[in-house]
Amino acid sequence: MKRKMGDRKKGGEIKKKRTEWPLIKPKAKLQITRLKDNDLFTVHNFFTSVESKAFVKAAESTGFVHQGSLGPTYGEAYRDNDRISVNDPVLADKIWKSGLDILLSDLKIRGKVAVGLNPNIRLYRYKVGQRFGRHIDESTDLGEGKRTHYTLLVYLSGGCKLKSKNDSDGTGDSSSEPLVGGETVFYGPRNSLVAEVPPTEGTALLHIHGDKCMLHEARNVTKGVKYVLRSDIAFA
């Protein structure tokens, strides 16, 4: 049974002073790696290592709030992570115009074209032992003729990220443990495995959601800390 999972408005909603999010450089020559046609694909080096680490630092300074669920017994997917949720149209626009606007210019859903991001930006933190069970993501009506049809995840930690010319030659952050686990796993009919995506710093993962959303989960983190930025692609 598919369990729909919308974010609860109470958990992680930030009412504090405005967070100073990092600047995001426009990226040229971004490329899509298709995992399942147009339904599931990744974009490597969408954020630089510097940008990813700056988002983590800003998020930690803002403060996460734990998010759980009632669990499968009550019709909800198992959920154990920490979350920040901000409504920030300016940040959403900057992320969109850093390269997604060009990359997704030919993507259409039911005659609609991609026009931007959901201004509700969420950041998730998964520590050792935390995970998000199998679920589907719902489509959201944003008003003014806009509706979301794709989930956007940007991994802010993990993996051996390919070096990009947009990254500075700094010493890096050796204080954090390498991330182990936390893969995003997608399932097809009869629980067949469609794709297993390991979190890799700076990589964006996009997948269709709503009535065509694939069942998916975020596996247990066994070492390190997994950080993810989440939004949705809006169409009109």
pLDDT tens, residue by residue, 32-75: 999 999 999 999 999 999 999 999 999 999 999 999 987 777 77
Per residue in 106-128, pLDDT tens? 999 989 999 999 999 999 999 99
Mean pLDDT of 165-181: 60
The 10 Å Cβ neighbour count of residue 97 is 14
pTM above 0.75, yes or no: yes
Instruction: Give percent above pLDDT 70 in the chain.
Output: 86
Distance, CA of 211 to CA of 75 (rounded, Å): 18
